[in-house]
Amino acid sequence: MRHDRIRRRLRASLLPFAAAGALLLAVPAGAVVNGPCTGRVEFSNGSVLTAEQPLDPPTLIPPKDEVAWSGSIQASFDEPVPYAGAVQASVGGIMNLQIAAWQGKSDETSASGTYAYQVPAFVPRGTGAILLTGQHAQGDVVCAGQVTLALEGSPGPVAYVSALGTAVFLAGTLAAGVAKGGRG
C-alpha cells in the first residue's frame, strides 16, 4: 500500500518533466518553405540555407557571422505595391526573439545583401535546435518558411549549470514525494 502511494507520487512529480521533454523534441528539423519564393543564406563556415535543404539534420552555424543573403518571389508588378516581412527565432520553444523586420512599397521582386548577427552568450551552443521562421508578403503573394539551426561550439557552463539545477530540483521533488518515517 505504501509503495503504491510512493509510485503514484513519483509518476505525478515526473509528469511535468515528460511533458517539457516532449515539447522540446517536437521542434522540426531542416527547412520548409511555402509559397512562390526562393531564398539563400551563406555562412562563413560553408553552411548554406536554401528551400531545397534536406529536412534533417539542423544546419550548423557560427554564433557570430556576417551572412550573404538573397531572396525572390515569382511575381511581377506594374507599379509599387506594399510589402512586409519578418524573421523570428525560437530557442527551445521558450524564448522568442525577432531577428529582423522590413516593410515598404516596391515593384522589385528580388533583393540581396549582407546581415551581421551575434547570438547572445546565454543561448547554449552545441545542444540542439533553434527554430528560425520567416515570412514575406508583397501584393497578393505570401511566402513563409522555417529552418532549424544548431550553434557551433560546446555547451559551456550554462548548459552544465542548467543540468545540475534540473537534477537538484528533480531530487528534491522525488524526496518530497516519499512518505516520511512511518507516517502514512
Q: Which residue has the higher pLDDT, 7 or 93?
A: 93
| Predicted local confidence at residue 165, as pLDDT | 54
Indicate left, alpha or beta for 46 from its phi (over 0: left) and psi (-120 to 50: alpha): left
Residues 162-177, mean pLDDT to the nearest whole number: 56
**Total number of domains in the chain:** 1
Is 12 inside any structural domain?
A: no
Closest CA to 145 of 87, 100, 72, 102: 87
Q: Which residue has the higher pLDDT, 8 or 23?
A: 8
Question: DSSP H helical segments within 70-113, as ranges?
Answer: none
Average pLDDT, whole number, for the chain? 74
Is 58 inside any structural domain?
A: yes
Residue with cell 537534477: 167
Confidence band of 58 (pLDDT split at 50, 70, 90):
confident
Is 13 inside any structural domain?
A: no
Is 18 inside any structural domain?
A: no
Phi and psi, residue 182, nearest 5° = 85, -5
pLDDT exceeds cutoff 60 at 184? no
Domain with 108 in it: what CATH number?
2.60.40.770
DSSP state of 45: T
In which domain, by residue range, is 135 found? 2-7+24-177
Is this model's pTM higher than 0.75 or not?
A: no
Is 98 inside any structural domain?
A: yes
Highest mean pLDDT out of 47-61, 71-85, 88-102, 123-137: 71-85
Which range, of 10-24, 61-75, 150-164, averages the lowest pLDDT? 10-24
